[in-house]
Structure 1
Amino acid sequence: MGKIKRAQELAKAEAEAAERARAAQAAARTDLRDQRDYPMRLQKFLARAGVASRRGSESLISAGRVEVNGLTVTELGTKVDPLNDEVMVDGRVVEWGSKPVVLALNKPAGIITTMKDYSGRRCVADIMPTDEFPGLFPIGRLDIDTTGLLLFSTDGELGNHLLHPRHHVTKVYRATVWGDVGEVALSWLAEGVLIDDRLTAPAKVKVVKRLGGKTILELAIHEGRYHQVKRMCEEVGHRVEQLERIAFGPVELGGLPRGSWRVLEGRELEELYHAAGLPTPDEASQAGPGAARSNARMGETQGATDAPGRKIEQ
């Protein structure tokens, strides 16, 4: 009798849990319907669901990574009803209101920073967990031969803010250059050098080590101009042999093995959002609907998408 009673209690508990889940889903659906915005464009749905920015969502659709009710959709004008249509990105169902994620990768050399390459070259999507985190996109880019820290997220607004010049988020690089870098060259790098008829912003530069015929430098910059570190070093007469990014804002590469990734959590994630001038998703939700960020505005500034023609940072 004891086993039967326990089974009955378990069944009752499961039924109550299922009922609570149905009630929560119904409440969520009511909130959605109250927005009086249905059907909506697919890219708008993806942005509001926190998958990517509006521009990033358009790139996902154009790349054939989005399905609606089991069919691949590449038409940007497609409309969906969040209450009735099933939307999938990279084979996984998009849950309305899913919390965005941020990942850090130690990028190896020889891999291009794009989520899809039509010429068959190896790209970062080949080593990132897109099945577990659909809608991932790289925040900025690293050149094919540049290694080190590359951030990914499903939060388009975070990506846009981290790359926007007004936030001055510092990126730190370790460069192995040819030649013995002297004090004059170091001062030029620190004060700014002329690239494309425009001075680079002041940088923090220090010598890490001097080798036979080479110098290892550490440069901290907050701009993201095309091949900036390489071109800065070449302007003062020292060609870069190897380049590695070791920090992006408060996030450091640390001991993350080459080719491996990790999820950002806790204080590190909080500091990254604050460096971008944003509340964390938890902070935004606790502040209430009026204070929450709108993903519908994510695509208004460039920088956080995987759109063709994006400039490579380094």
Structure 2
Amino acid sequence: AAKSLHSRSKPHSNRETTNGVVIPDSSNRQTRMEDSPSANCASTNDIPLVRWLVWMGHFSSRRQAAKAIQDGRVWINGTVCHNLIHPVAATAALPTKETIELRPLNQDSPDPNATTRVLTSHTMDHVYIMMHKPPGMLCGRNDQRQVSGGGTIPDERPNVYHAVAQFLQAHSSSSSNSNNNRMLQPMPIGRLDVDTTGLLLFTTHGILNHELAHPQYKVSKVYRAVLRDTTGPLSDEAIGQLAQGVSMAPGKGKARVVVQGKATNVKGQVGMVDLEITGGYNHQVKHMLRLVGRPLQTLHRKEFATLVLHEESLPVGHCRWLTTEEIQQLHQVAARGRANQVSLGNVVHGEESISVDALEAT
């Protein structure tokens, strides 16, 4: 059962529903999305409207998207939609055929040339960027950091969002990849730890982002690890253990999973290993090498899907646009992963329901 949008701050206003979601309207009255077949996303290509709005880069969080839907700003095929989980049939390769608009607050018939944004216009290009991430740069954007002994202090470490924003500001006006008509925030496809360097991709295409980052799609990534002990290569036994799979907990309180990887000692470099994985769990490579008794010293991502980072053409800390061919290759990788999931009978995008308590920043 889903709960009120403000259930955390106003627990007395909760009301459970069966297939609907209770949200407060702008006059603080409880408004319920009607039970209907469209309330559930049954198709493997269906995405709940609230998530689609974020994945396509129109809002930075599902809470903001839910507020716009609640306020009656989202219109589909000329009709206002208050249903957070209205199913939007779309994949990275197959955009939705519906006309979804974002209209001004309290204006039923605005001038479409002045204020209405058509969110499904196919003339709106997405942004695709490759970064050579340096060490010490955050992939998050928290303004505060915790300190030992308790409390927080301002986090002044550089983060990838600022670096990409500077790249866009410097290059968007002179590039065919400019995204001025959308003003969207490119999001990283997955993350790298603060001290991990290498290839990091960004895009405003939220669906493609999801399909490339989620572990179930098994997108290949290759890391180069320098082991803490450089007195000898990774043993054949350890290489076999990694290939067979090691058990790790992907997060605090989460069930253990078995993860596999193809490890290769780098020729002429004792204590240096290339490890190919198809997962995407937090600290996965670090955990895998630690579990076979060879913890790492440094980590660098050199490949992602079909893309290879060439350090001579993209120095540390720099960004570049992806080429048309590279973008097409990423979409092909996503399509293969999607087809594989459908063949296994897995739901690719669909969700039976959305708990509004879960509408947190993404």
Q: TM-score, normalised by structure 1?
A: 0.61
Matched residue SS, 1:59: coil
One-letter amino acid of the structure 2 residue matched with residue 53 of structure 1:
W
> Which one of the candidate residues 309, 331, 341 is aligned to 1:253?
309
Structure 2 counterpart of 1:190 = 243
| Distance in 2 of aligned mates of 1:151 and 1:99 | 17
- Structure 2 CA distance for partners of 1:298 and 1:191, relative to 1, 3 Å: closer
Any residues of structure 2 matched to 1:63-212 within 5 Å, and which? 77-78=70-71, 79=73, 80-81=102-103, 83=112, 86=115, 96-97=121-122, 98-114=124-140, 116-119=141-144, 120-121=155-156, 122-128=158-164, 129-131=167-169, 132=172, 133=179, 134-179=184-229, 180=232, 181-196=234-249, 198=256, 200-209=258-267
Unaligned runs of 5+ in 2: 1-47, 74-101, 105-111, 145-154, 173-178, 250-254, 338-347, 353-358
Q: Shift of the alpha carbon at 1:108?
A: 0.8
- Structure 2 CA distance for partners of 1:45 and 1:166, relative to 1, 3 Å: closer
Taking only the aligned residue pairs, the percentage that are identical comes to: 30
Structure 1 counterpart of 2:60 = 59
Q: Deviations over 1:253-306 (max 9, x none)?
A: 112211111111222221111001179xxxxxxxxxxxxxxxxx97969xxxxx
Q: Shift of the alpha carbon at 1:168?
A: 1.6
- Structure 2 CA distance for partners of 1:141 and 1:76, relative to 1, 3 Å: farther
Is the helix fraction higher in 1 or 2?
Answer: 1
Unaligned runs of 5+ in 1: 1-42, 67-73, 89-93, 280-296, 302-306
Q: Shift of the alpha carbon at 1:200?
A: 3.1
Structure 2 counterpart of 1:270 = 328
| Distance in 1 of aligned mates of 2:351 and 2:322 | 25
- Structure 2 CA distance for partners of 1:199 and 1:135, relative to 1, 3 Å: closer
- Structure 2 CA distance for partners of 1:147 and 1:101, relative to 1, 3 Å: same
One-letter amino acid of the structure 2 residue matched with residue 118 of structure 1:
D
One-letter amino acid of the structure 1 residue matched with residue 334 of structure 2:
A
One-letter amino acid of the structure 2 residue matched with residue 81 of structure 1:
R
Aligned residue pair count: 226
Any residues of structure 2 matched to 1:266-305 within 5 Å, and which? 266-277=324-335
C-alpha contact (below 8 Å) 2:51/2:62 kept by paired residues: no
| Distance in 2 of aligned mates of 1:250 and 1:62 | 34
- Structure 2 CA distance for partners of 1:86 and 1:251, relative to 1, 3 Å: farther
Q: Deviations over 1:219-258 (max 9, x none)?
A: 0000111200000111111121100111110011112211
Q: Shift of the alpha carbon at 1:193?
A: 1.4
Q: Deviations over 1:2-47 (max 9, x none)?
A: xxxxxxxxxxxxxxxxxxxxxxxxxxxxxxxxxxxxxxxxx96995
| Distance in 2 of aligned mates of 1:95 and 1:236 | 49
C-alpha contact (below 8 Å) 1:192/1:199 kept by paired residues: no
Q: TM-score, normalised by structure 2?
A: 0.54
| Distance in 1 of aligned mates of 2:186 and 2:213 | 16
